Structure 1
Amino acid sequence: MPESPATPLRLTADAWESLFRAQVAVMRRLRRDPSFAALAIGEYDVLFNLSRCPTGWTRLNELNSHLLISQPSLSRMAERLEHKGLIQRRQAPDDQRGVLLALTDEGRRLQREIGSAHVRSIHALLGPLLNEEEMEQLLALTSKIRAGLEDDGGTHPSM
């Protein structure tokens, strides 16, 4: 991929490394957060993403596109969450191989409970580090990155 004249290669690498290391540092702190005593952070992420489904139901493979785990790992996690009574699964009506997932009432209650505490923890962690303007810049930059990556349809630039 040719180097952009506006962004030197080394700066891109340094910015990526900084973003990645910041995310690692934040996630390490959040994993120790007592709000995740009832449910692991990865399991909470599944409940959170299911809570954002407009119809309440989503396909397993669609949910997987929002997570950083493999489809087989998500399938096993979905089984555990179903066993705990937090999600429900059913066959997709238009595809006998497809699986649909949704929160149960208990899953929705737990997601809201953990989510509320989780947001307060994030604010306590990041609030003292970034002022409102910086937080808005961070949101704008990370949103721009995500939008640019989602717009390309998952293709990768040639190397």
Structure 2
Amino acid sequence: MTDTTPLDPRQLTAYLALKDVAALLEHAVEQQLKEDGGLTTPQFQILATLADAPDGRRRMTDLADGLVYSRSGLTYQAAQLEKAKLVTRASAEDDERSVIVTLTDAGRAVLFKVMPGHIEVVRRLFLTPLGDADIAAITDILGRVRAQMRSAPPRSAKPRRTTGSPPQRGERNNGR
């Protein structure tokens, strides 16, 4: 059963403030990434995720599962990064249907180039007005909200079923 009770004024104010903050921060980050490195936000997320991987590699499905972005959109962004020689894509050795994305030295260099400006934007717009207790509270609060949202993620963020599992109702069995 869905709760459709109208939001009270405090709830509405909190919701609209969150949307405002997210939109303003996203716009500033997108501008900075474009100006400093010619990157989109999803491209930055791909590069940053790969840079955090011990070997600079991830399966495309793992990238898609971690980022809330359509799988086809993520494939397009990875293709653009590959054209720019910032990543490589190849079939996995253990499963030819699976694609491995690997960060290149040029990709690391672009990430290194955009990171100072990225940190500056995040710090200036988001972190500066907050104290340590505020950051701890936001981390806790948004962590709980994220966990709630990820418990029923959009299709782009749903982990894929394991090989051999029958498709769920409404799901295509395309092997990927």
Tell me whether the two structures share a fold, i.e. TM-score over 0.5: yes
CA contact (8 A) 2:60 2:98 kept: yes
Out of 7, 10, 16, the residue aligned to residue 10 of structure 1 is 7
CA contact (8 A) 1:92 1:99 kept: yes
Unmatched 5+ stretches in structure 1: none
Deviation for aligned residue 1:143: 1.9
Cα distance per residue 1:27-58 (max 9 Å; x no partner): 1222232x532222322121112112234211
Alignment of 1:44-83 (within 5 A): 44-83=44-83
| Structure 2 match to 1:115 | 115
Cα distance per residue 1:79-100 (max 9 Å; x no partner): 1111111001110122211101
- Residue identity opposite 2:113 in structure 1: E
Deviation for aligned residue 1:13: 5.5
| Structure 2 match to 1:32 | 31
- Residue identity opposite 1:119 in structure 2: I
What is the aligned-residue identity percentage? 21
Deviation for aligned residue 1:72: 1.4
**What TM-score comes out, normalization by structure 2 length?**
0.71
**What TM-score comes out, normalization by structure 1 length?**
0.78
Cα distance per residue 1:10-29 (max 9 Å; x no partner): 25952444322320121122
Q: Name the Cα RMSD after superposition.
A: 2.5
CA contact (8 A) 1:58 1:102 kept: yes
CA contact (8 A) 1:36 1:114 kept: no
Unmatched 5+ stretches in structure 2: 155-176
Structure 1 stretch displaced more, 78-87 or 65-74: 65-74
Distance 1:41 1:135, change over 3 A: farther
Matched residue count? 149
| Structure 1 match to 2:166 | none
Distance (whole Å) between structure 2 residues aligned to residue 50 and residue 72 of structure 1: 18
- Residue identity opposite 2:38 in structure 1: L
